Structure 1
């Protein structure tokens, strides 16, 4: 391992640029170029950050050696020309699991610790700050065995914590196994992140605009359809949910997380976490966020929810807002925690969630096999 790192590090320092790079095939089967690691941003980033599993990924990417330097197979960038929304949606749909959104969650309108089996799609993000300290800092939601949906402000290049890995199948941090009523879950999975896809227009024209991102996992999450299972995406709201997107503002939705407020997390990179997953059920309404909605060029980009005593700082930044379909057989993610009130549960205040329905074309067009 040390030899591999030292060889690749030498390559990273080298300044030789090969104009006619040898063609190669990346680990995922896509075509690429055999180049020095510093010429491949994604692999070079793995070398610098060294998240769990990074060395195995780098070792598997080596395609040749030259002058005692290791060359890596850098996957070709996708074509700039988009095939169009309809083609993107079809391609993305084919990559989503058929089994999704099944949970033992019971509809109770309170804020409380979540039952063990109730949020099998919840994700914890783990990162490192400038001092080298590692901690969990944001939430996310599992869309498939390879993709996690989260907030852009958690994972963009200027974030205070550098993303290293995600944790799948967690409930009570620091306890393994998690058990309730003689039922015990498998150990959580810590998986390296292969690619971070931040919305290309994040932060424009307003600071919180387009606050959405996808994470592609380096290895597939192990799905068991009980403790770990993907949430559903509302591809066609009227068909999937049983009501239109406009009707969402008459509904209630669930949010969940481990208790850090975005206000603390965004300012200092720290926050007070609950070790146990918390959840709450909130009304979706613009009643207390009309002033905030003026920041967005299109108010449909986000959803507002809250205004009750058990308001959502139970939901971490990047975590999901989910809703049941009309017959309560599946759960669909309809929002991603973006902004929240400074004081959790403050009366006449709302949290703001990036609308998943609004960004469905973007999500589907960024999924790949």
Structure 2
């Protein structure tokens, strides 16, 4: 009798261990991929604007709205952060009435990656099945872009050997005033243009001191430097513009590219003393980790680095 009980107990413990390992494998299966590795090593990221080269930015996505009887039309950018997740800006979904349910799919559309020309079909295409926006985001308050971040859940994996994910900022990835960041996308070149660029462009600009007057225009609500990055060329002429919204504001650290910001808003495009504003992703990591874990797409930063980052934020001011 004792031997039988011991045998049953042993079998039970074995099943529990197998189950726990299975759950562990299930949680880890989707974040065993590399991030921030460009297929090109000779990317020019000096100050200015230029055409991109094939494979340089494999995580940059074109978000396109489906139109009956026509091809899907680009309206915003985004970045791939996991096989089925795209990070973009909440304000990209302004023109659709936002219902009470924050997970409501506000716009049926497609995500394209791997194309340089905007008229090209993406080499990889998926549809999103859910749009997740922070409850604190208030889209109908004029000029208020606090919490301007959104997460798109796709209907299938969109990455492969040629299309990877971008890294998210860890606790030791802190951007400083004067550092350059690069925006990539298909936005219009200036306020006079009426059509988005047909070719993927990259714009490299410096991060500015958030306390200067240009970063605190009176027409906009006061900016919180822990939530927003102010960046641009004060003499004008170089900037993100309509069509770039939602795209990544990236920096390179130790041969990897990190998405430190999301193209959010500004006063016009490329005006004198009118820099742009970017949602600081590090300020939203806790929210982001909660959502991606719920969707079954855990990110390594959420397991390994979030507690360190939260501690770091409490003891260090963002610049």
Is the structural similarity TM-score above 0.5? Answer: yes
Match of 2:230 in 1: 304
Change (3 A) 1:347 1:213: same
Match of 2:133 in 1: 198
**Is residue 317 from structure 1 mapped to residue 255 from structure 2 by the alignment?**
no
Match of 2:152 in 1: 215
**Residues 39-78 of structure 1: CA deviation (Å, up to 9, x unaligned):** xxxxxxxxxxxxxxxxxxxxxxxxxxxxxxxxxxxxxxxx
**Residues 120-168 of structure 1: CA deviation (Å, up to 9, x unaligned):** 1100111146998841110000001110000001135438x83411112
Contact 2:83 2:157 in 1 (8 A): yes
> Residues of 1 paired with 2:190 and 2:153: CA distance?
23
> Residues of 2 paired with 1:349 and 1:194: CA distance?
36
Structure 1 residue 250 displacement after superposition? 3.0
> Residues of 1 paired with 2:201 and 2:64: CA distance?
18
Q: Which moved more, 1:350-359 or 1:286-295?
A: 286-295
For 1:143, which of 71, 76, 81 is the aligned residue? 81
CA RMSD in angstroms, aligned pairs only? 3.1
Contact 1:255 1:315 in 2 (8 A): no
Change (3 A) 1:321 1:128: same
Contact 1:262 1:340 in 2 (8 A): no
Gaps of 5+ in 2: 1-25, 99-105, 297-319
Match of 1:282 in 2: 205
**Residues 75-114 of structure 1: CA deviation (Å, up to 9, x unaligned):** xxxxxxxxxxxxxxxx999854540101123333220111
**Is residue 168 from structure 1 mapped to residue 113 from structure 2 by the alignment?**
yes
TM-score normalised by the chain length of structure 2: 0.70
Matches for 1:230-309 after TM superposition, within 5 Å? 230-236=165-171, 238=172, 241=173, 244=174, 247-260=175-188, 271-285=194-208, 286=210, 287=212, 288-291=214-217, 295-296=221-222, 298-307=224-233, 308-309=236-237
What is the aligned residue count? 251
Contact 1:155 1:198 in 2 (8 A): no
Match of 2:260 in 1: 334
Higher relative contact order (CA 8 A, sep 6+): 2
Match of 1:111 in 2: 49
Contact 2:144 2:220 in 1 (8 A): no
Aligned-partner SS, 1:359: helix
> Residues of 1 paired with 2:47 and 2:242: CA distance?
13
> Residues of 2 paired with 1:314 and 1:248: CA distance?
26
Gaps of 5+ in 1: 1-90, 177-186, 265-269
Match of 1:73 in 2: none
Change (3 A) 1:295 1:262: farther
> Residues of 1 paired with 2:219 and 2:29: CA distance?
34
Contact 2:149 2:262 in 1 (8 A): yes
Contact 1:259 1:274 in 2 (8 A): yes
Structure 1 residue 311 displacement after superposition? 2.3
Match of 2:314 in 1: none
> Residues of 1 paired with 2:190 and 2:130: CA distance?
23
Change (3 A) 1:261 1:292: farther
Aligned-partner SS, 1:153: helix
